[in-house]
Structure 1
Amino acid sequence: MAIRKKSAKNPPVLSHEFILQNHADIVSCVGMVLLLGLMFERTAEASIVFITLQHSVIFPAAERTTESTSLYGYGVKDLATVFFYTLVAIIMHATIQEYVLDKISKLMQFPKTKQSKFNESGQLSAFYLVSCIWGTFILTSENYISDPTLLWKARPHNMMTFQMKFFYISQLAYWLHAFPELYFQKTKKQDIPRQFIYIGLHLFHIAGAYLLYLNHLGLVLLMLHYFVELLSHICGLFYFGDENYHKGFSLWAIVFILGRLVTLIVSLLTVGFHLARAETQKQDVITGNFNVLAAKIAVLSSSCTIQAYITWNLINVQLQKWREESTFQVPCVKKKRTTSKGRSSKKGTENGMETSNRADSPRNRKEKS
């Protein structure tokens, strides 16, 4: 579906403004070309690589079931699939921006600085909400919520279900689409390094869980992280509507600390017990077994490092806010003291004029008499 932002001027074709205004139309045209390739026999095989999940293995039906099951691994063809769903993510981003966030911004009449933050929180809130619902459904269908010990009891395997692989492909596509969105949304230069770190950390950990076949562990940790981030951005949206709203932030601070602690506990239990009790302790890239000491240390150090980094950033932000509030309150107190001293030191003054110069003062009355 083509999405076009209305503007009074028509910029030149392929110019900077033209790409910014019509990037969703351009991306949708590329996606339509890949879809139309399915209609022709010569191009169908190439188009299928972009649209459907690849590297599937069909297992014969078990004794109790009559249907065969298909599981998925990963390979080079996944790059094409991630590229196609990155295009889909850009189109969905433009749809939410134009038909939801822009209309709310016009009603609320946000300034430009607040509008950019509102758009960021709105986009991420929608993504985190969908991801939390989707991830919870996967964990429920595979009985990981009813029995969390399956994380470290289950044997390591190198296969994923359809929903699990599609979830990871979608996650990688979404965070990859965030890089061109920095250009499309005209992000400020001072905000680009922060955004690059934020996007890069998500891509690094999601890709690591996907490539090391730590799918369920990665999914549980993502759900914990996404839930905390969802609560944070929802509180931010309420704050944009009413600046006096502060109730949700105290709840978010408690959930944030609990989320970090649960993340560390789950990582230690899963990596420590599950991988230590595995039958094979040798690395085999072909079969997807990375159960070696180096991989364990890398996973645990990465998990602990990112939790420490996020917590440190939160502490710095809170300290900066407290400093700004204290510097804002001190000048106000000084102004009140100076104004009160000025009024008391000037004896016999009223409205900026000395009362001794008035005609009805006692000294003037004596001089007249």
Structure 2
Amino acid sequence: MGIRKKTNKNPPVFSHEFIIQNHADIVSCVAMVFLLGLMFEVTAKVAVIFVTVQYNVTITSNEGPEETNFFHHGLKDLATVFFYMLVAIIMHAIIQEYVLDKINRRMHFSKTKHSKFNESGQLSAFYLCSCVWGASILVSEHFLSNPASLWEDYPHTLMLFQMKLFYICQMGYWLHALPELYFQKTKKEDILRQLVYISLYLVHIGGAYLLNLTRLGLVLLVLHYFVELIFHVSRLVYFSNENNQAGFTVWAILFVLGRLLTLSLSVLAIGFGLAGSEQQGLDLSLGNFNVLIVRITVLVAICVTQAFMMWKFINFQLRRWREHAQTQSMKKKPVPTKSKSSKKENKANGAVTSNAADSPRARKEKSS
């Protein structure tokens, strides 16, 4: 077996292939510029807007001299989201190169399985980190032990550092998925699906962040991410062993339960909790959006999204059942075999047999 020669052909600088092959290094250099800007007094005031979380508010406790740092949102958050979008692109490239590509070389997947494996591998890592991070915030803030805190004392304009950083990283990650469509050379037929997928995340996460519904949004995100984590882990297991499909059954049950819990929590917090709150009215300065039109819009957006996901889920399950039925029918279908009567008919019609030496024509040729 000959040794395959490596091609050292480098694409032209600033060409599409050059940017795609070296996009992680280019983005790393851009992120390094912001980090180096923190070292110099002239540029530190600008660089700090991109790197650190903004809008710090210090509140002194009435019970003692302890001070607690809170944060609220503002326009400078756009710069911070942009920086963490660059970090997400770098992390995406690291996971792809040092984990997923090595597994792909060993498994020898087809092109279709290769792209799906990469998608599930990236999302599994993101969903796992987000679930652990979000669950730790829920436990530390006692949101699960006290569900009424999801709507009490609204508007929740002040957030702890972990809560705000969580939302900044979430928006940065889903924004990074837009340029990744170009970097990963996504097929044209898959671009629309990906854009809808990304837009739904950005609209819901950004809406919860701007409307000061961060507590409810955190609970719903952790619930949704956990269900999605089960699906993508099950798909990774399926690619390694196609006979192991038990994970999809678990995911199907959790998916339906997740949709029901999402609708129940949304109606409970927005339809009943905020509707019965004493602080009613629209006040942009205080961040209060507790008016009927906003509550209806939020509930309609959540209900439409859950209905859309259920419709996609039902179509997915019907397609799987149809494919399973086809494979079972192909297995049960008998394989046609040649009978003895068909062989006699072939000989009578002058068909050529494997024993050509015994045919009359062959004997005649030997006698001559």
**TM-score of the superposed pair, with normalisation by structure 2:** 0.89
The Cα shift of 1:154 comes to: 4.1
Aligned to 1:15: 15
Aligned to 1:364: none
Instruction: Flag the 1:246–1:203 CA change in 2: closer, same or farther, 3 A.
Output: same
Instruction: Flag the 1:27–1:330 CA change in 2: closer, same or farther, 3 A.
Output: same
Taking every aligned residue pair, what percent have the same amino acid on both sides?
58
Which aligned pairs between 1:168-187 and structure 2 lie closer than 5 A?
168-187=167-186
Q: Distance in 2 between matches of 1:7 and 1:242?
A: 34
The Cα shift of 1:347 comes to: 7.5
Letter of the 1:184 counterpart: F
Aligned to 1:151: 150
**Secondary structure of the corresponding residue to residue 9 of structure 1:** coil
Q: Distance in 2 between matches of 1:343 and 1:252?
A: 49
How many pairs were matched up? 349
Q: Distance in 2 between matches of 1:92 and 1:312?
A: 33
Question: Are the equivalent residues in 2 in contact too, given 1:156–1:275 (CA < 8 A)?
Answer: no
Q: Distance in 2 between matches of 1:191 and 1:321?
A: 20
Task: Determine if the alignment matches structure 1 residue 40 to structure 2 residue 40.
Answer: yes
Aligned to 2:365: none
Q: Distance in 2 between matches of 1:224 and 1:51?
A: 29
Letter of the 1:228 counterpart: V
**Secondary structure of the corresponding residue to residue 298 of structure 2:** helix
Aligned to 2:3: none
Q: Distance in 2 between matches of 1:193 and 1:315?
A: 20
The Cα shift of 1:24 comes to: 0.4
Q: Distance in 1 between matches of 2:229 and 2:208?
A: 21
The Cα shift of 1:345 comes to: 6.6
Q: Distance in 1 between matches of 2:278 and 2:41?
A: 46
The Cα shift of 1:12 comes to: 1.4
Letter of the 1:190 counterpart: E
Aligned to 1:3: none
Q: Distance in 1 between matches of 2:276 and 2:69?
A: 27
**Secondary structure of the corresponding residue to residue 38 of structure 2:** helix
The Cα shift of 1:343 comes to: 3.3
Letter of the 2:218 counterpart: L
List per-residue Cα deviations over 1:112-168 (Å, max 9, x = no partner). 221110000000000000000000011111111222232234443321111111100
Q: Distance in 2 between matches of 1:103 and 1:170?
A: 27
Question: Are the equivalent residues in 1 in contact too, given 2:154–2:279 (CA < 8 A)?
Answer: no
The Cα shift of 1:349 comes to: 6.6
**Secondary structure of the corresponding residue to residue 112 of structure 2:** helix
Aligned to 1:298: 297
Q: Distance in 1 between matches of 2:216 and 2:8?
A: 51
Aligned to 2:339: 343
The Cα shift of 1:71 comes to: 1.4
**Secondary structure of the corresponding residue to residue 74 of structure 1:** coil
Question: Are the equivalent residues in 2 in contact too, given 1:38–1:44 (CA < 8 A)?
Answer: yes
Q: Distance in 2 between matches of 1:344 and 1:318?
A: 46
Aligned to 1:28: 28
Aligned to 1:122: 121
Task: Determine if the alignment matches structure 1 residue 264 to structure 2 residue 260.
Answer: no
Higher mean C-alpha deviation, range 241-250 or range 120-129 = 241-250
The Cα shift of 1:274 comes to: 2.0
List per-residue Cα deviations over 1:280-334 (Å, max 9, x = no partner). 2110111100000011101111111111100100111222233334445556666
The Cα shift of 1:10 comes to: 1.6
The Cα shift of 1:73 comes to: 1.3
The Cα shift of 1:169 comes to: 0.4
Task: Determine if the alignment matches structure 1 residue 311 to structure 2 residue 310.
Answer: yes
Instruction: Flag the 1:292–1:332 CA change in 2: closer, same or farther, 3 A.
Output: same
Instruction: Flag the 1:67–1:183 CA change in 2: closer, same or farther, 3 A.
Output: same
Instruction: Flag the 1:323–1:75 CA change in 2: closer, same or farther, 3 A.
Output: same
Question: Are the equivalent residues in 2 in contact too, given 1:228–1:256 (CA < 8 A)?
Answer: yes
Question: Are the equivalent residues in 1 in contact too, given 2:156–2:214 (CA < 8 A)?
Answer: no
The Cα shift of 1:11 comes to: 1.5
Task: Determine if the alignment matches structure 1 residue 52 to structure 2 residue 52.
Answer: yes
Aligned to 1:205: 204
Which aligned pairs between 1:55-134 and structure 2 lie closer than 5 A?
55-59=55-59, 61-134=60-133
List per-residue Cα deviations over 1:167-207 (Å, max 9, x = no partner). 00000000000000011111111111100010110001000
Question: Are the equivalent residues in 2 in contact too, given 1:152–1:273 (CA < 8 A)?
Answer: no
Give structure 2 stretches of 5+ with no counterpart: 1-5, 359-368
Give structure 1 stretches of 5+ with no counterpart: 1-5, 360-369
Aligned to 2:363: none
Q: Distance in 2 between matches of 1:46 and 1:123?
A: 32
Question: Are the equivalent residues in 2 in contact too, given 1:155–1:274 (CA < 8 A)?
Answer: no
